[in-house]
Structure 1
Amino acid sequence: MKWIIWPVFTLLAIFSAWGFKQTPADTGVDNTITIFREDAARFAAASREMETAMQAITPGKPASIEHAKAALKKCRLAYKHIEYFLDYFFFSSSMVYNRPAKTEIDEPYMEYQSPAGLQQMAVLLFDKNPYAHKQALLDQANLVSSSATDLPALLYQFKATDKDIMESLRIELVRLYASGITGYDAPELKSGIAETAQSMRTIQAVLQPWLSTSSPETQAVTRYLGQCISYLELHTDFDHFNRMEFLTTCALPLQESVGNLIHHLQLDQHTRSALNYDAKNLFSKDALRASAFPGGTDTGALLVKLGWQLFYDKALSGNGLRNCATCHQPDKYFSDGLRTSLATDEKNHVRRNAPSLYYAAFQYAQFWDGRANTLSKQIQTVITNPEEMNGYPDAIIVRLNDDSAYRQSFADAFPGDSIPAISMTHLSSAIAAYIFTLSPQTSAFDAYLAGDKKAMTPAQVNGFNLFMGKGQCATCHFAPLFNGLTPPLYQMTEFENLGMPGNGSLRRPQPDKDAGRFEYFPIAFYQRAFKTPTVRNAAMTTPYMHNGAFGSLEEVMDFYNAGGGNGLGMKDPYQTLTATKLGLSTSEMKDIIAFLKALSDQPATTYNY
């Protein structure tokens, strides 16, 4: 983690007061509060022990560092018992303890959040010279410890409902599957499996008031909870943890059974997140709500069909020779196979690689630098860009109005709209609606998760486990879409500086002159930062990166395994990717590539209208 976009509605949700009201019918609230009090006290005690361990760090004594790491891990394990509660009811307070270890920028207010808390301490302890950071470690430990002591004060006049409790647990399960077992919070400590087990224990305790009664719904939750906890406690090796087996045999069934229990108890509530609570699990095709993303509410059949027609219409370009499919070709998985696309003059090239449009709609920022916050804005920008389509809005509207079929299609797609039927606003909305349909999830991986155990090879399954664990791929490419949507709420889009060489060379890397998001927001921390794209269909969309500098997945894996640009010897002070080498073997990297191939959807031509 890394730099993120915080949409306006998310900021309002975070910084405004959420009101919680307890009713006499609520049976789980008192139990939850009791559990939180007890766990908060344990966390406070663990944080004091950690502070003492940091104080004991002595230069030249590696044992003092190992003791400090052990104390940090113990503190993190204690924190995981209260994380679900703090993140749901007191989000701003939770950031004191587990804030990402990189500077974050809250947009649009452009306020900085400096690294702080347990994640930052892990980074400092695993530095090449941790002794030099003793004072910083002490400062962080004191911040955590003093704040933890005051946790009970949060409960003053606290009120909640059973529906609130249940929603917090729904979200926690997603956090565990998409972040916990990946080691997202502290990849250096490799404590993600143990932390997930602690969280599961707390979920079990919080659900006891409901699980004490017998019904098919409670029996299923009890069974799968027990299986999850047993699996996590029996398989503790982070690098070799079988995430696929864990997810398919007990974790995802638990998520489904919890959803069934909540519905059975009539405790459904949706106050936040882009999650679809009616989906079976995190990897269901409908796990994320299209309506949660800009433009996702307008995806009617007539609108989508119109968008499909416009996508392939060369009348949108200035010379009548190009359309959206020129650079986003269906037979190439909506990319064009070029390092950077040809410009309108058919001689020069545009600055950046044309990424696949698959799953592009499920982001809160468009373009590599995120300068458009909606697909509609992105589409209009491309149409009018002199190097891309060089279209003239007035001329486009005249051409479309001259076509009686288009006049009827626009009228049908936008009935009763006060805006003239054929407009750039409507045109871009229609194309955006079509792009929203480009999220098929028809890959071998999706078939495997749906129950077809023959859909993936053993190498691909192992590659998934490595992708989600030792390879740290899933700490930036988050499940289920494997893009920069950050779990568990999926309401933020990440930007990363990988230290990507401009020349694509791993032996003699040269700095990239593309400043990335910095050109849009001239803030130092955005230097050379780019949006994290999906790796679904990555095997079908070579070349790679914003500049198209890597021609194979093997080069991409070698780059990440080396620690990005800084790991290769470059010196980029704003690189967000850890420069620590991953230590993946050649066979392990081959298996990750095999998994990426298992993320290839069925050929795009089957999705025409």
Structure 2
Amino acid sequence: MYRNRFKIFLQLLLFITCLSAVLGLKEGPDRRGLHRLTDEFKISSTRFAETTIELQHAVKLIDEKNPETITLAKNALRKSRLAYKRIEFFMDYFFPSSALIYNRPAKVEVDEPYMEYQEPSGFQVMEAALFDQAPRSKKQLAEQAEVLNTSAADLPALLYAFVANDQQILESIRLELVRVITLSITGYDAPELKSGITESYQSILTIKTILSPYLRRDQRGSELLLQHLNTTLSYLQLHPDFDSFDRMSFLTGYALPLQEQLSLFIKNQHLLLNSKSALNYEAKHIYSTDAILPEVFPGAAGRTTGMVSLGKKLFLDKSLSGNLRRSCASCHHPERYFSEDLKTSITFDGKGTVQRNAPTLLYSGFQYSQFWDGRAKSLQEQIKGVISNPTEMNGNHEVIIARINKSEYYKKYFLKYFADSAAQPISIGTIADALAAYIGSLSPRNSAFDRYMNGDKNAMKAKAVSGFNLFMGKGQCGSCHFAPLFNGLIPPYYKLTEYEVLGTPGNNDFNQAKKDMDRGRYDFFPISYYEAAFKTPTVRNVVMTAPYMHNGALKDLYQVVEFYNKGGGAGLGLTIPGQTLSAKPLNLSKKEVGEIIAFLESLTDKL
């Protein structure tokens, strides 16, 4: 019965995605790569389907009393994942709805704003079950294996009436390279199998295969690109061990130069297309300071340097508050990297504290929602809310507009920068726009780490480099704090902001941890999966912005890293049913903790 229902669902999904392909993909005059793409997909999808049969068989043989059968199932899962990596770029780019079946995170996700649940499915669910210390659900494993096998068998149907032009094909593989650089080498989708390096090899090998129709022996650009592909593949092949893999050497010596050459090649072929992501394809590589486009984020379009200057003056202006004693800088101190050294800020009346910690405003413009719980859709919406909030600035919008209108300076420059705002250049909307322009400009990207990644090999100390390797590897930090901004923007598209349930305690005594009662995003969206969920903040400049977490409970970075090292709240013994952070200890040594903190120190900007 389960199989029949799934087949009906799959057939409908395939029909919809194929129809989308026919209607949505623009026909291009140049399709050198189309035949290679479809031929490769036929071969690789067939091989993938064969591995799902093997996986299904291995699951059937699982005997809880025989560890060897579980090991065989893990190996079959690893083999199937490797085969899937040969078609991942195609599925994720051209048929994202169908791709959800195979490699979704092992947690329930909510499709906003429609509030539809997306149940976990595929590889990551099976990995979590196979490595879980609690009794495994063989039934769940069998169901997931059947889903993979049934859907894989029907993959060739995706090619019915499929069309794609060269720009789309090349964009799909350049995004796959970003996925390798930012996700695969961190173990993002295979943290227990630790197969990310060998999977990266398969992804790069596929990129090379798909590129072959475009490469000409008499073109220097082709020769250089092929050389970079081959050296990158060789490095991955020679260093397959996940824990010991030198990510910094791989990135700076191989992957980033490959990305740079691939971008240059696509540009020179006049096949540039950016239809999917927030990435700046004109940037040198993902760690360039201009790698992500600021204007794609809510409320960022149309900002000018003049608005930034006007917003900076408003940021320091106490006339925005109800008592003329408080400004934005009262809680987000520029000298403290736009944060505050209190657990939570003092309320407007001075008699209490607000609910949550005042985080840094640096890089806050690179988010799709604001506040810890993400309840504001833009910086402008957040600003309006803070100004009028009785516990924060307690300002009446009409009174504030009247005050600003009394200033000849403000009248002059609001009229200059907001001349198109009908007959009222000064309004709460334009005030919020100016402030958002300033806050959105707070993204210096000039830290020691940034200088190192852009060529200055003296910028970082060896300890910090080791810390980066741990952050992106064994420490699993980079699988939630995604490169290059190290916040919750999910690569390779950077179109979604992630929320996590960490089980952050209400105190910093890990031996007697107390549960924090803040319900997080649940208070905004009352869905059980959002219980105690918070937006993943950037860790850039984190050394300068203590105390930490949404409640300011952790006083220093040693406590923060140790909290993760112990497995979050569940690892501390708290009951956190929906924790999305693995409760398993990371087993980081004291030396390794110090190295991770050294890396975090290297993320400090010069203001």
Q: Same fold (TM over 0.5)?
A: yes
Query: For 1:525 and 1:505, how far apart are their aligned partners in 2?
Result: 27
User: 1:342 Cα deviation (Å)?
Assistant: 1.0
Deviations 1:55-105 (A, max 9, x none): 000120000000000000000000000000000000000010001110000
The code of the aligned residue for 1:430 comes to A
SS state at 1:344 partner: coil
The code of the aligned residue for 2:20 comes to A
**Matching residue within 30, 33, 36 for 1:25:** 30
SS state at 2:310 partner: helix
Query: For 1:360 and 1:78, how far apart are their aligned partners in 2?
Result: 38
Matched residue, 2:418: 414
Query: For 1:39 and 1:313, how far apart are their aligned partners in 2?
Result: 61
Query: For 1:155 and 1:584, how far apart are their aligned partners in 2?
Result: 47
Which has the higher mean CA deviation after the structures are superposed, 466-475 or 290-299?
A: 290-299
Does the CA-based 8 Å contact 1:298-1:433 persist in structure 2? no
Matched residue, 2:205: 201
Does the CA-based 8 Å contact 2:107-2:580 persist in structure 1? yes
Does the CA-based 8 Å contact 2:108-2:118 persist in structure 1? yes
Matched residue, 1:329: 333
Query: Are 1:211 and 2:219 counterparts?
Result: no
Does the CA-based 8 Å contact 1:483-1:532 persist in structure 2? yes
Q: Matches of residues 202-281 of structure 1 in structure 2 within 5 Å?
A: 202-281=206-285
Query: Are 1:67 and 2:72 counterparts?
Result: yes
Q: Matches of residues 47-126 of structure 1 in structure 2 within 5 Å?
A: 47-126=52-131
Query: Are 1:340 and 2:344 counterparts?
Result: yes
Matched residue, 1:154: 158
Matched residue, 1:128: 133
Deviations 1:564-594 (A, max 9, x none): 0101111110111110111111111110000
Deviations 1:368-421 (A, max 9, x none): 011101000000100011111111111101101111110011001112222610
Matched residue, 1:476: 480
Matched residue, 1:39: 44
Query: Are 1:354 and 2:389 counterparts?
Result: no
Query: For 2:107 and 2:316, how far apart are their aligned partners in 1?
Result: 42
The code of the aligned residue for 1:420 comes to Q
Matched residue, 1:387: 391
The code of the aligned residue for 1:17 comes to S
**Matching residue within 140, 145, 168 for 1:141:** 145
Query: For 2:528 and 2:33, how far apart are their aligned partners in 1?
Result: 47
SS state at 2:102 partner: helix
Does the CA-based 8 Å contact 1:15-1:92 persist in structure 2? no
Matched residue, 2:4: none
TM-score by length of 2: 0.96
The code of the aligned residue for 1:175 comes to R
Matched residue, 1:575: 579
Query: For 2:449 and 2:17, how far apart are their aligned partners in 1?
Result: 35
TM-score by length of 1: 0.95
SS state at 1:396 partner: helix
Query: For 1:295 and 1:219, how far apart are their aligned partners in 2?
Result: 43
Q: Residues 294 and 23 of structure 1: is their aligned pair in 2 closer, same or farther, counting only changes over 3 Å?
A: closer
Does the CA-based 8 Å contact 1:317-1:391 persist in structure 2? yes
Does the CA-based 8 Å contact 1:293-1:363 persist in structure 2? yes
Query: For 2:25 and 2:388, how far apart are their aligned partners in 1?
Result: 48
User: 1:310 Cα deviation (Å)?
Assistant: 0.5
SS state at 1:112 partner: strand
Query: For 1:23 and 1:295, how far apart are their aligned partners in 2?
Result: 33
Query: For 1:586 and 1:15, how far apart are their aligned partners in 2?
Result: 53
Deviations 1:541-580 (A, max 9, x none): 0000000000010001111000001011111101111101
Q: Residues 280 and 16 of structure 1: is their aligned pair in 2 closer, same or farther, counting only changes over 3 Å?
A: farther
Q: Matches of residues 368-517 of structure 1 in structure 2 within 5 Å?
A: 368-418=372-422, 420-517=424-521
Matched residue, 2:13: none
Q: Residues 57 and 419 of structure 1: is their aligned pair in 2 closer, same or farther, counting only changes over 3 Å?
A: farther
The code of the aligned residue for 2:338 comes to F
The code of the aligned residue for 1:397 comes to I
SS state at 1:389 partner: coil
User: 1:142 Cα deviation (Å)?
Assistant: 0.5
User: 1:456 Cα deviation (Å)?
Assistant: 0.5
Deviations 1:462-492 (A, max 9, x none): 0000000110001100000000000110000
The alignment yields a C-alpha RMSD, in angstroms, of: 1.3
The code of the aligned residue for 1:64 comes to T
SS state at 1:400 partner: helix
SS state at 2:498 partner: strand
User: 1:501 Cα deviation (Å)?
Assistant: 0.6
Does the CA-based 8 Å contact 1:353-1:547 persist in structure 2? yes
Deviations 1:203-224 (A, max 9, x none): 0000011123332211221111
User: 1:129 Cα deviation (Å)?
Assistant: 3.4
Does the CA-based 8 Å contact 1:379-1:428 persist in structure 2? yes
Does the CA-based 8 Å contact 2:315-2:328 persist in structure 1? yes
Query: For 1:292 and 1:173, how far apart are their aligned partners in 2?
Result: 21
Query: For 2:501 and 2:17, how far apart are their aligned partners in 1?
Result: 26
Query: For 1:298 and 1:354, how far apart are their aligned partners in 2?
Result: 28
Q: Matches of residues 168-183 of structure 1 in structure 2 within 5 Å?
A: 168-183=172-187
Determine which structure has greater relative contact order: mean sequence separation of CA pairs < 8 Å that are 6+ residues apart, divided by chain length. Answer: 1
User: 1:24 Cα deviation (Å)?
Assistant: 5.1
Query: For 1:239 and 1:422, how far apart are their aligned partners in 2?
Result: 56
Matched residue, 1:537: 541
**Matching residue within 366, 370, 393 for 1:366:** 370
SS state at 1:489 partner: coil
**Matching residue within 572, 587, 592 for 2:596:** 592
Does the CA-based 8 Å contact 1:299-1:436 persist in structure 2? no
Q: Residues 298 and 124 of structure 1: is their aligned pair in 2 closer, same or farther, counting only changes over 3 Å?
A: same
The code of the aligned residue for 1:545 comes to M
Does the CA-based 8 Å contact 1:499-1:570 persist in structure 2? yes
User: 1:21 Cα deviation (Å)?
Assistant: 4.1
Does the CA-based 8 Å contact 2:17-2:158 persist in structure 1? no
Q: Give ranges in structure 1 of 5+ residues lacking alignment.
A: 1-12, 605-609
User: 1:347 Cα deviation (Å)?
Assistant: 3.1
Does the CA-based 8 Å contact 2:500-2:581 persist in structure 1? yes
Matched residue, 2:531: 527
Query: For 1:229 and 1:295, how far apart are their aligned partners in 2?
Result: 41
The code of the aligned residue for 1:122 comes to E
SS state at 2:113 partner: coil
The code of the aligned residue for 1:600 comes to T
Query: For 1:504 and 1:107, how far apart are their aligned partners in 2?
Result: 34
SS state at 1:97 partner: coil
Query: For 1:533 and 1:16, how far apart are their aligned partners in 2?
Result: 39
Does the CA-based 8 Å contact 1:299-1:434 persist in structure 2? no
Equivalent pairs counted in the alignment come to 590
Query: For 2:181 and 2:17, how far apart are their aligned partners in 1?
Result: 23
Matched residue, 2:7: none
Does the CA-based 8 Å contact 2:383-2:432 persist in structure 1? yes
Query: For 2:134 and 2:558, how far apart are their aligned partners in 1?
Result: 32
Query: Are 1:547 and 2:551 counterparts?
Result: yes
